[in-house]
Amino acid sequence: MLPTPPDEALVAGRWRRGGGAPARSVDPATGRCLATVHAVTPEEVAAAAEAGAQAAADPRWRDLLPHQRARLLHRVAALIEEDAEHLAALQTADTGKALTETRALVASAAGTFRYTAAALETAEDALTPSRGEYLTMSVHEPIGVVGAINPWNSPAASDAQKLAPALAAGNAVLLKPAEWTPLVSLALGRIVTRALEERGLPTALLAVLPGPGRVVGDAIVRDPHVGKVAFTGGTATGRALARTAAEKLMPVSLELGGKSPTIVLADADVEQALAGVMFGVFSSTGQSCVAGSRLFVARPLYDDFVGALAERAGTLRVGPGTAPGTQVAPLVHPAHRDRVAAYVGLAREEGARVLCGGAAPEGPEYEGGAYYLPTVLDGLPHDSRACQEEIFGPVLVALPFDDEEDLVRRANDTVYGLACGIWTRDHRAAWRIARRIDAGTVWINTYKQFSVSTPFGGTKASGLGREKGRDGIRAYQRQKSLYWGTATTPLPWAG
Ligand code: NAD
C-alpha cells in the first residue's frame, strides 16, 4: 500500500501548497489520480531564490568544512536507504516504471550522495606554480543559488545527480521536477529537509518547486539570484533555456536528448548482443536518453539477427510496473503513448516494415494504461524522421551496414551525440570505432551501465558539460585565483 504521496511544495524553507494551478499526478498503469499538486507561482520562485541566497550565505552553512557538509550528504543517503521501498513504489506509481528499475534508481540515488560525500572529503584546491615572489592558489567557491531542472523519466536518479554535487559545493538549490512526475522530488525534499533540520542548518537551502516549465522553470532561469542552471530534458527546451541564460551570462549544463546507435559487427556474440540490444532500447520502455534506438547490423548477420530480435521482442512481458517479471511497463502518460504511436504511424508512411509491435497491447489488463508494445522497424532510409528524431519510447529502427566507413558515417549522421553500443569480439575494431563515434559514452559488449564515478554527458545536440565523477562538484563552483605576496625585495613602485 502506497503511503499518501506528498503534494506540497517546499518554498523558502516551508512546506506549503503552491499558489498556482493544480495538476493531477496520475498512475500511468491505471489512470488513477495519485495526488493533486499545485504549481508554485513566479513570486514563490522569487521568494525561494531570495531565501536560498540568504541560506547559502548563512554562516551555519557557509562556514561548514567540507567533511561537515559530507556528513549531511551521508545522512541524506542513509535516509534514502531507510525509505528506499517507499521511494521506489512512489516512482513506479508516478512514472509507471517497473519496480525492479525504480529500486535500482533509488539505490543509485543513495550511492550518488555517498560517492559525492567521499569526493568532497578528498577534493583539493591547488597551489599553482608561480615565477614571482608570491604564492599562487586556485580555490573553488560556491556559486550561491543554483537551479536544477529535471525531466520525468528518472526523477530519483536525476535529482540526486544534481542535488548531491550542488549541495556538496556549498550552494542552495532550487529543484524543479517535471509536471507529470513531481512526487519523488517532493519526497526527496522531505528527506533533505529532515537532514538539514537535524543539523540545525537552514531548510531554505533546498526548494522543490513544481509547476509548468514555461512558468516555473523559466522564472528559475531568469531569477537574478540564480547563478547556474543544471538542466536535463529535451534539446529544444535546453536550447531555449540556454538562450535565456546567455542574457545573464550564466553558465548552464545541459543533458539533452539522443538517438544512439547500437552496432553489431559480424563476429559479435549473437546471444549477448541480442540481450544487450533489447535491454538497451526496451528497458524503461525506451524512455531513456541513452536508449539504443538505431540498430546497425553487419549485412551478413542482418536478416537472422533482426528476425531473432523481433521474435524475442514480441515475447517481452508487458505489464504494470508493480507486477513481478514485468519487462516493459507503461509509458509515463497517455499523451506520451500517443506521441510514440504517431511516430510509428509516420515511420509506416516513410516506408517502414513493422517487424513486431507497432500498436498498444490489447486485453482487459491493459485498459486505462499508457501501454505500447516493443516495436522493431526496418526498411527505412537513414534520413527518415523515424531514424533521426528521438521517439523516447520502445521503438527500434534496424539498418544493415556493409563496411566500417559506411557504418561510422551513418552512426555519426545525426544531430545527437549521447551514447553508442558496440558488440564484437574484435577488440581492435571496437577501439577504432569507439574512438571515431561522436558521443559522450560508448559501451563495448555492454549497454546502459552507469557508474557514478564516470562522467556522463553528450556532444552536439545532446548537451553541454558533464555530470558525475570527481569533477562533478566543480561544475557547481566558481574558481578564484589568489596571489599572496611573499616579497622580500621591494615591489616595482615601492618608494
Ligand atoms: P522537457 O524538455 O519537456 O522538460 C524537462 C524539464 O524542463 C521539465 O521539468 C520542464 O517542466 C522544464 N521546462 C520546460 N520548458 C522550460 C522552460 N522554458 N524553461 C525552463 N524549464 C523548462 O523534457 P521531458 O519531456 O520532461 O523529458 C524528456 C527529454 O529529456 C528527452 O529528450 C530525453 O532524452 C531527455 N533526457 C536527457 C537525459 C540526459 O542525461 N541526457 C536524461 C533524461 C532525459
pLDDT tens sequence across 354-391: 999 999 999 999 999 999 999 999 999 999 999 999 99
Confidence of residue 316 (pLDDT cuts 50, 70, 90): very high
What is the pLDDT, as a whole number, of residue 371?
98
Q: All 3 cell numbers of residue 314?
A: 514480441
pTM, entire model: 0.96
Taking CA atoms, 412 is separated from 24, 187, 235, 292, in Å, by 40, 40, 17, 13
How far, in Å, CA of 246 to CA of 183, rounded? 31
How many angstroms is it from 157 CA to the middle of ligand 1? 14
- Which of 12, 391, 34, 390 has the alpha carbon at shortest distance from 181? 34
Asked if 466 contacts 472 with a C-beta cutoff of 8 angstroms, the reply is yes
Ligand 1, atom 40, lies closest to the CA of 255
Could you tell me what percent of the chain has a pLDDT over 90?
94
- Given a cut of 80, whether residue 490 has pLDDT beyond it is no
Mutation test residue for ligand 1: of 222, 232, 250, 284, the one with most atoms within 8 Å of CB: 232
How far, in Å, CA of 327 to CA of 338, rounded? 20
Ligand 1 atom closest to residue 179's alpha carbon, by position in its atom list: 11
What is the pLDDT, as a whole number, of residue 2?
66
Ligand 1 atom closest to residue 255's alpha carbon, by position in its atom list: 41
Ligand 1, atom 18, lies closest to the CA of 214
Ligand 1, atom 42, lies closest to the CA of 289
- Given a cut of 60, whether residue 1 has pLDDT beyond it is no
Q: So which residues are the catalytic ones?
A: 255, 289
Q: All 3 cell numbers of residue 334?
A: 497517455
Asked if 244 contacts 221 with a C-beta cutoff of 8 angstroms, the reply is yes
Ligand 1, atom 26, lies closest to the CA of 151
How many angstroms is it from 71 CA to the middle of ligand 1? 31
Mutation test residue for ligand 1: of 25, 237, 337, 467, the one with most atoms within 8 Å of CB: 237
Q: What is the CATH number of domain 9-256+462-481?
A: 3.40.605.10
How far, in Å, CA of 147 to CA of 431, rounded? 38
Neighbours of 480 (CB within 10 A): 11
Place of cell 495519485: 34
Give tens-digit pLDDT for 406-431. Answer: 999 999 999 999 999 999 999 999 99
Find all residues with CB under 8 Å of 450, minimum gap 6, and list them: 108, 456
**Which residues have C-beta atoms less than 6 Å from ligand 1?**
149-153, 176, 178-179, 213-214, 217-218, 221, 232-234, 237, 240-241, 255-258, 289, 390, 392, 418, 458, 463
Mean pLDDT of 438-444: 98
- Given a cut of 60, whether residue 247 has pLDDT beyond it is yes
Asked if 157 contacts 84 with a C-beta cutoff of 8 angstroms, the reply is no
Q: Give the Cα-Cα-Cα angle 3, 178, 449 (nearest 5 degrees).
A: 85
Beta bridge pairs of residue 134: 485
Give tens-digit pLDDT for 158-198. Answer: 999 999 999 999 999 999 999 999 999 999 999 999 999 99
**What are the φ/ψ torsions at residue 384 (nearest 5 degrees)?**
-70, 160
The three-state DSSP-derived secondary structure of the chain is CCCCCCCCEEECCEEECCCCCEEEEECCCCCCEEEEEECCCHHHHHHHHHHHHHHHHCHHHHCCCHHHHHHHHHHHHHHHHHCHHHHHHHHHHHHCCCHHHHHHHHHHHHHHHHHHHHHHHHCCCEEECCCCCEEEEEEEEECCEEEEECCCCCHHHHHHHHHHHHHHCCCEEEEECCCCCCHHHHHHHHHHHHHHHHCCCCHHHEEECCCCHHHHHHHHHHCCCEEEEEEECCHHHHHHHHHHHHHHCCCEEEECCCCCEEEECCCCCHHHHHHHHHHHHHHHHHCCCCCCCEEEEEHHHHHHHHHHHHHHHCCCCECCCCCCCCCECCCCCHHHHHHHHHHHHHHHHCCCEEEECCCCCCCHHHCCCCCCCCEEEECCCCCCHHHHCCCCCCEEEEEEECCHHHHHHHHCCCCEECEEEEECCCHHHHHHHHHHCCCCEEEECCCCCCCCCCCECCEECCEECCECCHHHHHHHEEEEEEEEECCCCCCCCCC
How far, in Å, CA of 10 to CA of 182, rounded? 12
Q: What is the domain partition of the chain in residue ranges?
A: 9-256+462-481, 261-444
How many angstroms is it from 228 CA to the middle of ligand 1? 17
Place of cell 506521441: 339
Ligand 1, atom 13, lies closest to the CA of 213
Average pLDDT, the chain: 96
Q: In 54-87, which positions are buried (b, 16+ CB within 10 angstroms) versus exposed (e)?
A: bbbeeeebeebebeebbbbbbbbbebbbebbeeb
How many angstroms is it from 152 CA to the middle of ligand 1? 8
Give tens-digit pLDDT for 99-135. Answer: 999 999 999 999 999 999 999 999 989 898 887 788 9
- Given a cut of 80, whether residue 4 has pLDDT beyond it is no
How many angstroms is it from 33 CA to the middle of ligand 1? 23
Give tens-digit pLDDT for 55-90. Answer: 999 999 999 999 999 999 999 999 999 999 999 999
* Residue 407 C-alpha from the chain's centroid: 28
Q: What is the CATH number of domain 261-444?
A: 3.40.309.10
Could you tell me what percent of the chain has a pLDDT over 70?
99
* Residue 109 C-alpha from the chain's centroid: 12
- Which of 450, 427, 422, 434 has the alpha carbon at shortest distance from 115? 450
Find all residues with CB under 8 Å of 422, minimum gap 6, and list them: 262, 263, 265, 430, 433, 434, 442, 443, 444, 445
Mean pLDDT of 224-229: 98
How many angstroms is it from 64 CA to the middle of ligand 1? 33
Mutation test residue for ligand 1: of 40, 149, 460, the one with most atoms within 8 Å of CB: 149
- Given a cut of 80, whether residue 456 has pLDDT beyond it is yes
